[in-house]
Chain A
Amino acid sequence: MRGDLARDLAGIVGERHVRVDDGALAAHARDATPLFEASPQAVVYPGSTAEVAEILRYATANRVPVVPRGGGSNLCAAAVPLHGGIVMVLTRLNEILEISREELLARVQPGVTTAALAAAAAEQGLLYAPDPGSHTVSTIGGNIATCAGGLRGLKYGVTRNYVLGLEAVLPTGEIIRTGGRLWKDVAGYDLTRLLTGSEGTLAVITEATVALLPKPKESGTGVAYFASLADASRAVTAVIAAGIVPATLEFLDHKCIAAVEEFARLGLRLDAGALLLFGDDGEADAVAANLDRIKGICADIGALEVTLAENVARADALLAARRCSLPALSRLGPLTVLEDVTVPRHRLAEMVDRIDEIADRYELRIATFGHAGDGNLHPTCVLDPHDHAAIERCHKAFAEIFSAAIALDGTITGEHGVGAAKLPYLEERLGADQVALLGRIKRAFDPAGILNPGKLGS
């Protein structure tokens, strides 16, 4: 099987771009999600849309599963080949095809990293707003496939808000172009939005047109320390209620502060229960005024200390530290199971209390950080990978955390996606009828069920 597959794929992309050696298969058996692993039979690196189409036609004809993959930084096992088959790595398609200042948009191939697009846009005085924590490694294709969020979600929204059009290949090999370069276009169902967040289950994205913004003139960042994460949550609610929508409103609990400090050495206060990182951008006066108001609100809530970053370098360092929260947490214990729940912002404090209560009851170490302004939390359980009983308790605890989020009118994933990790909980969130509809949509796109099986729509 492996030999035939290798020969057939080599016929499409050339021998250099197919791997079937045990090492390559092992290296593509997982993404950044712990506890999920399954080997493919082949890894293929297509170099064009036409090659992607031919691979998919072949896969449909031969009923071979295909899992699209970008930077492999997924956190819900969406890029793990649960049913084997082909892992299709799209990082060779990594060209920025166009950046238009006149139209405020960029046209890119899926393998371009988020940071590379952001840097190219910045060179032209433009902003690509979505800003996932993993931006140096995650790709635009993967960002779109999972509708990635990030640190600027509060003011600017998530990836979905910036995708104008897509070129995508259906599992049966047809190449479609959805949307385009227009801000207004209602011709047909909104397939651009349907494919955004479809997690590689409906089509393979081979090109994207994304909206850019003029780069904000100024930005500023500040840090507020609180006695508890619940206090920080109340500050978030108060900021939003005051009618302020800053670019960034992130929080870290004391466990995260300690881990981040160990890596980044920023002089963060280790005696605080939580810190709130706030930032805004825009006209200098407005930024200063907003930061000042947030500072005041934090103080009113009872912040232990509020300081504004004295310069851009310090602000960047603080944001960079926030980005590395997850990997830094692994310093506390090598197995980190990170989750991704979202609740309405005014219920953040309740959710934080629920997480603490559940962690205590299951005797688990759960650190929490997140995009507080979005109501998006990342409770992260830190474990010993060899303690199977604790891992079992962790699964149970997260099941309760998901239920708690849903009970607070929240959801089981805010930005990482459903993948294989959350699939068992999808029905609790969406209801049976909607899950069945997803299945019917999946079959309309992918009658043979070859595209990322075992995930959404399966």
Chain B
Amino acid sequence: MTHRPASDARPDAHAGEGRPAPASAGIFDPGLLDRCISCGFCLPVCPTYKLTGQETSSPRGRITLMRALEAGKLADGDPTLAEEASFCLGCRACETVCPAGVRYGELLEQWRDHQWRGRRRPLLARLLMAVVSRPGLLALQRLVRRYATGRGGPRRGAVPATAPTGSGTARSGGAPARDGAARPASLMLGCVERGLYPEVSRAVLRLRPELAVPGGQGCCGALHAHNGDSATGRELALKLGERLDGVIVTTAGGCAAHLAHHLGRERVAELSEYLERTGYRPAGEVRVGGRRARVALQDSCHLRNALGVTRPPRELIAAVADYVELPNAGDCCGAAGTYSLLRPADSRAVLDPKLEAIEAAGVDYVVALNPGCLRQLRQGLRRAGSKVRAIHLAELLAMAENGSTAR
């Protein structure tokens, strides 16, 4: 007798029921789906699996669904496929614990490309993608800024008022970095951030005035790639790569990961990485009510899970305030790009445990490294009536430089 499945079981995980294996649908890159061996190590870290406890909303289950789609065992219009492709936050926490090295983020993009091809993509997502890929329309964002940011933001005056224009000619490369590295670097303004939180870029320039800020930057395309339009996502990333000289410094974890994927890791530095690399030493400290501020960090999923950046932001915070580690700092906050707009109820359910942890930690500020996370935290904290304020790392450091005593 040989070691083989009983007659009821299929001899090949990729074959159809008793029929010859259908040709693969070509939705996914060959080999990517094969990587998953269904060990399930990803289950405990998946935020949507935590919400439902159901296999279909775990990374392993979703890969099984993708395989069924690829093999033609699930129909294109299958409602579970549609639901799960949209339910996934794309936080990529699963990748960090996967010993087999499954590139889930890439699989998800390819899945959504197929799933949301054409008009099936959510209307709101299409609208946003249209706006951010047209630099002129980006200006419209400012109209909704007041509405979108709510009252949870930092007070005016907390950050320097020198605004980067983002529309003028490129600033010169300026002085070389303090460690003597002569490589030029450009600040990416970020299509969402420059509309909602222009104070973040202003704060960065206060810390690092030598950064070039070329105009007409447009969007990096992360939004498109995460919403089922990888081709545009790639195109926009490459275009931005041409427009911005040298190392691209970003203040958004999602953009950093997307750009790094298309332009190469060496072209991209998230702010905290860049500050560390250029020998930045934070000046002053942030004080609240006569004492050093207590500050926690919310990791940006893509920064943490895709690029592995976790230490530099923590050290920078600890240099200007009392750093408090949240027990779930690395868990997704539920913002997930457009997710909080497309699936508000699920987004809030993911956020709730984090809000509780922030409240329990007794902090003054929670720092975010991505505009989506910032918006999510501000709204959540405001809804909960919390006194804790969410700010970007750049703003915290600028406050310290100002010798600012908040409140």
Contacts and interface: CB of A to CB of B under 8 A. Distances in A.
B41 A399 contact: no
- Interface size on A, as a range, is 35 or more
Contacts of A392: 2
Nearest to A325: B99
A134 B40 contact: yes
Nearest to B65: A23
Given A27-B65, A38-B9, A335 B39 contact: no
B8 A91 contact: no
A377 B83 CA distance: 42
A330 B35 contact: yes
Interface string A21-57: 1111011111110111111000101000000000000
Contacts of A89: 54-55
A24 B263 CA distance: 38
A430 to B, nearest CB: 14
Most chain A beta-carbon neighbours within 10 Å: one of B35, B56, B78, B81: B56
B37 A421 contact: no
A94 B44 CA distance: 13
Given A30-B13, A82-B8, A23 B40 contact: no
Given A27-B61, A45-B54, A395 B40 contact: no
A23 B80 contact: yes
A262 B5 CA distance: 32
B55 A35 contact: no
A71 interface: yes
Contacts of B11: 35
B12 A23 contact: no
B13 A38 contact: no
A137 B1 contact: no
A324 B40 contact: no
B31 interface: yes
Interface string A176-208: 000000000000000000000000000000000
Contact of A385 (B3, B13, B101): B13
B169 interface: no
A326 interface: yes
A421 to B, nearest CB: 7
B37 A22 contact: no
Contacts, number: 163
B37 A72 contact: no
A30 B37 CA distance: 11
Most chain B beta-carbon neighbours within 10 Å: one of A34, A35, A113, A326: A35
Given A24-B55, A92-B53, A263-B101, A31 B38 contact: yes
A424 B3 contact: yes
A78 interface: no
Given A80-B9, A327-B39, A385-B34, A23 B78 contact: yes
A423 B6 contact: yes
A43 B57 CA distance: 14
A28 B58 CA distance: 12
Interface string B64-75: 110010000111
A27 B55 CA distance: 7
Interface in B19-72: 31, 34-35, 37-41, 43-44, 53-56, 60-61, 64-65, 68
Contacts of B56: 19, 23-24, 27
A355 B43 CA distance: 33
A454 interface: yes
Contacts of A45: 53-54
A26 B68 contact: yes
Nearest to B58: A27
A394 interface: yes
B84 A23 contact: yes
Nearest to B101: A331
A193 B391 CA distance: 57
A237 interface: no
B98 interface: yes
A330 to B, nearest CB: 4
B34 A32 contact: no
Contact of A34 (B8, B37, B54): B37
Nearest to A262: B101
B168 interface: no
B39 A73 contact: yes
B37 A399 contact: no
Nearest to A336: B37
Contacts of B60: 72
Contacts of A28: 55
A136 B44 CA distance: 7
A263 to B, nearest CB: 5
A388 B83 CA distance: 34
Contact of B73 (A26, A264, A336): A26
B78 A22 contact: yes
B348 to A, nearest CB: 19
A398 interface: yes
A29 B3 CA distance: 20
A30 B38 contact: yes
B121 interface: no
Give the top 5 A-B pairs by smallest Cβ distance, nearest first.
Answer: A23-B80, A334-B34, A324-B99, A327-B99, A137-B40
14 contacts: A23-B83, A30-B38, A32-B37, A35-B9, A36-B10, A45-B53, A72-B40, A92-B53, A94-B53, A134-B39, A137-B44, A263-B101, A330-B37, A331-B100
